[in-house]
Amino acid sequence: MLAEEGHRVDLVIALEVPEGDLIERLLHRAKVEGRADDTRKAITERMHEYHKLTEAVLDHYARQGVALERINGTGTPEQVFDRIRRAIVISSR
């Protein structure tokens, strides 16, 4: 789709957070937002599917020679944003 518009992907950023942390975040969200679908079992199943699909996308871009930055996604939103920004700045040099 990007190629059809004359664009290319120069960098792929993968945010990485330990699965246990993600599960706890989502379980907390379930309590706060009253989401009945955010059970530990449902979250674990979604995580499995997410990892399978994400790895396929990362593999695709790796085969294309696109740079991949795995960014630590733990911390405050500001900390994560700063890590992403630094990765983009470094890759654009």
Q: Which carries the bigger pLDDT value, residue 12 or residue 92? A: 12
Say whether pLDDT at 2 is over 80. no
Whole-prediction pTM: 0.80
In a domain, residue 3? The reply is: no
Distances (CA, A) of 52 to 17, 44, 65, 75, 89: 16, 12, 20, 25, 29
Inter-residue contact 14 to 70 (CB < 8 Å): yes
Show Cβ contacts of residue 92 under 8 Å, excluding neighbours closer than 6 positions: 10
Question: Per the domain annotation, does 57 fall within a domain?
Answer: yes
**Residue 42 domain flag:** yes
Q: Which amino acid is at 31?
A: K
The answer to the question of residue 4 being in a domain is no
Tell me the per-residue pLDDT of 12-70, one tens digit each, with 9 for 90 and over: 999 999 999 999 988 988 888 887 778 899 999 999 999 999 999 999 999 999 999 99
Domain enclosing residue 48, as ranges: 9-91
Residue 43 counted as domain residue: yes
pLDDT, position 34: 80
Q: Is residue 2 part of a domain?
A: no
CATH classification at residue 77? 3.40.50.300
| 13: in domain | yes
Q: What is the predicted pLDDT for the residue at 5?
A: 87
pLDDT of residue 48: 95
Does residue 3 register a pLDDT over 80? Answer: no
Q: How many domains does the chain have?
A: 1
1 found inside a domain: no
